[in-house]
């Protein structure tokens, strides 16, 4: 027998790399490239006009004005970010939380500056998960985090959410089911985007915040179950008052991991994020970050810290919110105008963030291979994010008829035109579906 020829050029990828294939974000970006002539209501990019060019230019000019200070900032920093900067970021968190005490009792060792919040999500997942461990997430949830969990080999358990965010009764029921299966010791994390969720736009109500925390703590019987609170959109609030974070209810600061980012409120090009970690996770996450980059971009951390220190950051956030409020209003108004007469279509009006979440009749699928996606991108030239990406891929119950519509990057005219085009695509697919259903019905009727 002839031995099979070994191909020395074959690439043997790790399990982790193989589990990272077929990412939703990769598909979506590819679709963006292939449909570059479309109006994108899909991209999660931020508003271009309000990016803080002047603040960053002034900051860089000042930070590099003397060769000595400039050289320090152009050098490596340290893994969690320099302590004086973490002090400034802590005071910013205290301002957001409306705490008079400046959160000075929060040890700086528990703060970590990261490359956006995405790095923190990834490091925390690496620190906690072995394949088969369980994460509970709101359904729907941030699809890039679903990919991170999938790459870690995690089992993702969806928990029902409504207009007030993740439902405490559904969270309890999910825990009870896992406990009855004898698998409670495999649960590592509950992941919640507490304000203006990506994709649903929903915020967890003030009443539910302590309740969700209490449930997580109640089921921390075998090992500590953490609650990862992702606050990516928290500062982009256009109506109503700021709500205390879930983290603020965690008196012992041992359960909640807080992920904050300056990408949405300031600039994703600067890409600075911050995590507040329970003490017991600091070393593990820091060790993993050491392997990753032993410190995020030092100069960028100084740019954001300076903007916080001078007050320019808070002022900038106010301006950004005004601009997004106009765009949110424009999107909701045109959606109302175009879709309100369509049977079975509903949407959620967010009080902040960047997304309107829309549901179509169940028969109208929205996925990449659906007639609607094809019609929208090829004929009407508009793109959206198919809602099914925001649920665990192996969940049989996931709805297939939803869409995430972003008002982040388009201007008002782009939003209006984009929604008009989308409505035209939906109208067309709805009428084809209805006439097909009518055809099936009449051919199924016995002939007289």
Ligand X SMILES: Cc1ncc(COP(=O)(O)O)c(C=O)c1O
Per CB under 6 A, 171 contacts ligand X: no
Find the helix packing angle between 298-310 and 53-63, rounded to 10°.
110
Place of tokens 């089921």: 219
Per CB under 6 A, 52 contacts ligand X: no
Q: How many residues does the chain have?
A: 448
Per CB under 6 A, 263 contacts ligand X: yes
Per CB under 6 A, 142 contacts ligand X: yes
Rounded-to-integer distance, Cα 359 and Cα 339, Å: 11
Q: Applying CB under 6 A, which part among 22-30, 114-122, 154-162, 356-364 lies near ligand X?
A: 114-122
Given 40, 122, 198, 200, the residue binding ligand X (CB under 6 A): 198
Q: How far is the CB of 8 from ligand X (least distance, A)?
A: 38
Q: Which is nearer to ligand X, 210 or 268 (CB)?
A: 268
Per CB under 6 A, 245 contacts ligand X: no
Q: How far is the CB of 1 from ligand X (least distance, A)?
A: 54
Place of tokens 């006439």: 435
Which residue's CB comes closest to ligand X? Answer: 116
Q: Check: CB of residue 266 under 8 Å from CB of residue 237.
A: no
Q: Residue 276 forms beta bridges with which residues? A: 111, 258
Given 44, 140, 165, 408, the residue binding ligand X (CB under 6 A): 44
Per CB under 6 A, 347 contacts ligand X: no
Given 92, 248, 261, 300, the residue binding ligand X (CB under 6 A): 261
CA 372 to chain centroid: 25
Q: Check: CB of residue 233 under 8 Å from CB of residue 352.
A: yes
Q: Which is nearer to ligand X, 44 or 77 (CB)?
A: 44
Q: How far is the CB of 137 from ligand X (least distance, A)?
A: 11
Q: Which is nearer to ligand X, 267 or 416 (CB)?
A: 267
Per CB under 6 A, 32 contacts ligand X: no
Number of Cβ within a 10 Å radius of residue 17:
11
Q: Check: CB of residue 231 under 8 Å from CB of residue 96.
A: no
Rounded (to 5) percent helix, strand, coil in the chain: 45, 15, 40
Contacts of 211 (CB under 8 A, 6+ apart): 168
Q: How far is the CB of 356 from ligand X (least distance, A)?
A: 15
Q: The tokens of 153 are what?
A: 């080999």
Per CB under 6 A, 365 contacts ligand X: no
Q: How far is the CB of 63 from ligand X (least distance, A)?
A: 22
Q: How far is the CB of 233 from ligand X (least distance, A)?
A: 7
Given 40, 79, 92, 118, the residue binding ligand X (CB under 6 A): 118
Residue 243, Cβ density class (10 Å: 0-12 exposed, 13-18 middle, ≥19 buried): middle
Per CB under 6 A, 116 contacts ligand X: yes
Please give the DSSP secondary-structure letter assigned to residue 249: G
Per CB under 6 A, 31 contacts ligand X: no
Q: Which is nearer to ligand X, 273 or 295 (CB)?
A: 273
Contacts of 224 (CB under 8 A, 6+ apart): 254, 255, 278, 280
Given 24, 151, 161, 193, the residue binding ligand X (CB under 6 A): 193
Q: How far apart are the first and last CA of the chain?
A: 70
Q: Applying CB under 6 A, which part among 97-105, 263-271, 280-288, 400-408 lies near ligand X?
A: 263-271
Q: How far is the CB of 113 from ligand X (least distance, A)?
A: 12
Per CB under 6 A, 140 contacts ligand X: no
Q: Check: CB of residue 262 under 8 Å from CB of residue 93.
A: no
Q: Which is nearer to ligand X, 236 or 372 (CB)?
A: 236
Element (H, E) at 192: strand 187-193
Per CB under 6 A, 268 contacts ligand X: yes
What 3-state DSSP class applies to 162?
A: strand
**Contact footprint for ligand X (CB under 6 A):** 44, 116-118, 142, 193, 198, 230, 232, 261, 263, 268, 271, 273
């Amino acid at each position: 027998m002839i031995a099979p020829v070994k191909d020395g050029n074959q690439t043997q990828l790790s399990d982790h790399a193989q589990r990272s294939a077929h990412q939703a974000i990769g598909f979506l970006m590819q679709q963006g490239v292939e449909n570059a002539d479309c109006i994108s209501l899909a991209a999660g990019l931020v508003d271009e006009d309000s990016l803080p060019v002047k603040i960053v230019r002034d900051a860089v000019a000042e930070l590099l004005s003397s060769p000595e200070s400039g050289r320090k900032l152009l050098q490596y920093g340290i893994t969690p970010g320099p302590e004086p900067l973490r002090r400034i970021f802590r005071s910013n968190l205290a301002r957001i939380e409306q705490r008079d005490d400046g959160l000075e009792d929060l040890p700086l060792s528990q703060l970590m500056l990261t490359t956006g919040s995405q790095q923190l999500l990834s490091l925390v997942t690496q620190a906690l998960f072995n394949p088969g461990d369980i994460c509970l997430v709101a359904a729907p949830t941030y699809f890039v985090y679903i990919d991170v969990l999938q790459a870690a080999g995690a089992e993702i358990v969806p928990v029902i959410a409504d207009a007030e965010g993740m439902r405490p009764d559904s969270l309890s029921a999910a825990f009870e089911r896992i406990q009855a299966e004898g698998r409670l010791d495999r649960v590592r994390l509950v992941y919640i985007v507490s304000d203006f969720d990506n994709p649903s736009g929903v915020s967890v109500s003030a009443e539910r915040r302590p309740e969700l925390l209490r449930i997580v703590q109640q089921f921390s019987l075998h090992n500590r179950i953490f609650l990862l609170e992702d606050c990516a959109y928290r500062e982009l609030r256009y109506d109503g008052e700021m709500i205390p974070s879930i983290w603020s209810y965690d008196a012992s600061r041992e359960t909640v991991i807080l992920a904050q980012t300056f990408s949405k409120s300031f600039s994703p090009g600067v890409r600075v994020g911050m995590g507040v970690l329970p003490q017991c996770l600091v070393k593990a996450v820091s060790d993993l970050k050491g392997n990753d980059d032993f410190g995020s971009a030092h100069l960028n951390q100084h740019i954001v810290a300076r903007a916080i220190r001078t007050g320019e950051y808070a002022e900038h956030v106010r301006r950004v919110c005004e601009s997004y409020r106009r765009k949110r209003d424009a999107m909701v108004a045109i959606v109302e105008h175009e879709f309100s007469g369509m049977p079975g279509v509903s949407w959620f009006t967010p009080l902040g963030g960047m997304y309107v979440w829309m549901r179509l009749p169940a028969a109208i699928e929205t996925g990449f291979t659906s007639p609607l996606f094809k019609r929208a991108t090829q004929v009407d030239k508009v793109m959206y994010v198919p809602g099914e990406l925001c649920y665990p891929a192996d969940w049989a119950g996931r709805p297939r008829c939803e869409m995430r519509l972003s008002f982040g990057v388009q201007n008002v005219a782009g939003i209006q035109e984009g929604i008009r085009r989308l409505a035209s695509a939906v109208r067309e697919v709805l009428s084809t579906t209805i006439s097909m259903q009518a055809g099936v019905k009449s051919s199924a009727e016995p002939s007289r």
